[in-house]
Chains A and B, each alone.
Chain A
Amino acid sequence: QVQLVQSGAEVKKPGASVRVSCKASGYIFTSHDINWFRQAPGQGPEWMGWMTPNNGNSDSGQQFRGRLTLTSDTSIGTAYMELSDLRSEDTAIYYCARISHDLNWFDPWGQGTLVTVSS
């Protein structure tokens, strides 16, 4: 079955960077874009950005530009999200999700990765 499996929880200090991985299985990795979301405690999901495994193109939301890097390694079917200059307000669960080819729905989602930023 189509599945996205993310890396484990991280604890980082303010100013540091974090990289979360998202390994795809059950489909051709380069056939769908991967999007990233985050969800702060008690809040709804927030879209962060997308990347195209086929060519490496990516884009991110305005509030993340300059801090967010989205990449992939097609040889192992894995997408990566790196967020730099971490602040306490970046504490959240981070999710990857596959986007459909038309009308842009997201399914499946990874299980989520908790990133805690604390001094």
Chain B
Amino acid sequence: DVQMTQSPSSLSASVGDTVTITCRASQTIYKFLNWYQQKPGKAPKLLIYAVNSLQSGVPSRFSGSGSGSDFTLTISSLQAEDFATYYCQQSYSTPYTFGQGTKLEI
């Protein structure tokens, strides 16, 4: 199975800040890397797919980068609605696995 290691597990920031979350795969996963946002009591929401493609309707302050096995999610100019938990996910091979999550707190 491909292991996904995400850091940090929690992050405190303020409105207007820029934050970065990293995700490392245990093997090369090429472009099969997605990022999701999850708020309490809600389903995961796709933000970024295929490393750096912004899902329709997602604000442009979200961006993704990386290659091979190392990936990054950057949120610029944080807004109040961005405080949530973020997960990376590899979709290169089954079982599709997630990082442990990053809880972004005010």
Contact = CB atoms under 8 A, between A and B. Distances in A.
Interface of A: 35, 44-47, 50, 59, 61-62, 95, 100, 103-112
B69 interface: no
Contacts, number: 56
A109 B34 contact: no
Contacts of A111: 42-43
Nearest to A105: B49
Contact count band on B: 20 to 34
B7 interface: no
B46 to A, nearest CB: 4
15 contacts: A44-B87, A44-B99, A47-B95, A47-B96, A61-B94, A61-B95, A95-B43, A95-B44, A103-B31, A104-B91, A104-B96, A105-B49, A106-B44, A106-B91, A109-B45
